[in-house]
Amino acid sequence: MIAASFRDCQAWKAECLPLSTTSNEACKMYDAIITQYVKWRNDPTLGGIEGCIAAVQAADPNFVMGHVIGTGLELVGMASSVEQNERLASAVRRTVELAKTQEITPRESQHVRAMELFSRGALSKACDVWEEILVEHPTDLLALKFAHDGFFYLGYQTQMRDSVARVMPYYKPHTPLSSYLKGLYSFGLLETHFYDQAEKVAKEGLALAPDDAWCVHSVAHVHEMKAEVDKGLKFMQSTEKDWEGCDMLACHNYWHWALYFIEKGDYEAALQIYDCQVSRRCVTSGAMLDTVDACSILYRLEMEGVSVKDRWREKLQVIEPHCEDHTLLFNDLHFLMVSLGGASTDCTHRLLESLRERARDPEENHQYQLAESLGLPMCQALVEYDQGNYGRVVELLQPLRYRFSDIGGSDAQRDVFNQLLIHGAIKSEDKLHQKYARSLLVERNALRPGSPMTDRMMQKFAALHV
């Protein structure tokens, strides 16, 4: 029995978002999928998102938006690409063909077009189409969420913020899922460095929906970027009961918790969270967000001089099937951390060579277009650091440091590459690089005053060079 709260055909039409199906069940399950996607929470009573996708297609196999949301969610999950996965490529083709054989609304046609563009790696063009939808239909939450994720992958921080700001006035308290827009907007604010406003908006969202794990994430992220370690740890502990069961984002929030301990220098506590929460959830979820977070924790710890023992080899089994996917440069870089840490020459070779091959003929794929000038040099910097060629790390990363955002991800996630540059500069035998390291540390201290990690790096610099 489908919950009465989900919208049927007439309800969608009343909101000026008509769906081209006569099946009320398909409409309600479509709504159930959006609800879980926005809340980052699989509802076991509904069979989770996967169960609802199956239910939509069973209710109406030809429901175009049912195919758009099912295939679109797999695409934005970045766990596979149409180049490597024929089943996914076939699903995209079927959706496009279905749209051509029946009368659907212009809005639905735009959704099909955006999904196809995204599948080809034309992320920016796909976001343009979703934004076009939102101009005419600002309460189309699927278009908003897909655009938000697309901007995140592109590293388009301002667009991610403004996309939500433009539609917020159209959401009233009675509009379904309206309170969850606070989380989306707060994230855009913090990624554009409006930290105090981001925290305020996120806490407003938590007052309306205490289970909004994205709002928790935003507050945690704010404390992290401001190096407010004790405040961050206290906040995560006080809210854990509300977001811990949010299976699609819990791992990432635990990742932020672990980063507080790394910042503090409490490596055992960070490893405990890694072992008990992050690594375990990474294996069970299979989500790329969880996988790259696990990679990142291990790499940050090793830069701090902590031995992570056999954990690299455990993660190697997870990333090896994906080392030639190349859905996102951000993912490639994290997979490379694992292949280097796990000493897998084969995986490293396959990842780098296949990425070089894609870079030779990028067509409209945004990631391949960036591979030659950004992705491959950043990959090479990881290789050089692994081999102890620290001066080369600086030579590769220094010209790129203000382009790191182009690989996608958040400021907190990309900070691992800022740390890599600093550690490389500190360890370089080049006197100019050592002076550059001192400048980077002064800059970091100005941005995050009182940061224990910055203090430790300054002490390391002094021990080596003063």
Confidence of residue 369 (pLDDT cuts 50, 70, 90): very high
What is the C-alpha separation between 64 and 104, in angstroms, rounded? 8
Residue 1's pLDDT is: 41
User: Is the per-residue pLDDT at 14 higher than 80?
Assistant: yes
Q: Distance from CA of residue 429 to its chain's centroid? A: 36
Residue 5's pLDDT is: 84
CA Rg value for the chain: 22
N residues, the chain: 466
Which residues, 6 or more positions from 98, have their beta carbon under 8 angstroms from its beta carbon? 62, 64, 67
Instruction: Kindly state the average pLDDT of the residues 336-349.
Output: 97
Instruction: Kindly state the average pLDDT of the residues 356-375.
Output: 96
Share of the chain above pLDDT 70, in %: 99
Which pTM does this prediction carry? Answer: 0.96
Task: Summarize pLDDT for 428-451 with one digit per residue, the tens.
Answer: 999 999 999 999 999 999 999 999
Neighbours of 24 (CB within 10 A): 18
Instruction: Kindly state the average pLDDT of the residues 86-113.
Output: 97
Instruction: Kindly state the average pLDDT of the residues 240-260.
Output: 91
Residue 4's pLDDT is: 58
Task: Summarize pLDDT for 139-167 with one digit per residue, the tens.
Answer: 999 999 999 999 999 999 999 999 999 99
User: Is the per-residue pLDDT at 339 higher than 50?
Assistant: yes
Confidence of residue 396 (pLDDT cuts 50, 70, 90): very high
Residue 284's pLDDT is: 86
Share of the chain above pLDDT 90, in %: 94
Confidence of residue 208 (pLDDT cuts 50, 70, 90): very high
What is the C-alpha separation between 49 and 35, in angstroms, rounded? 9
User: Is the per-residue pLDDT at 226 higher than 90?
Assistant: yes
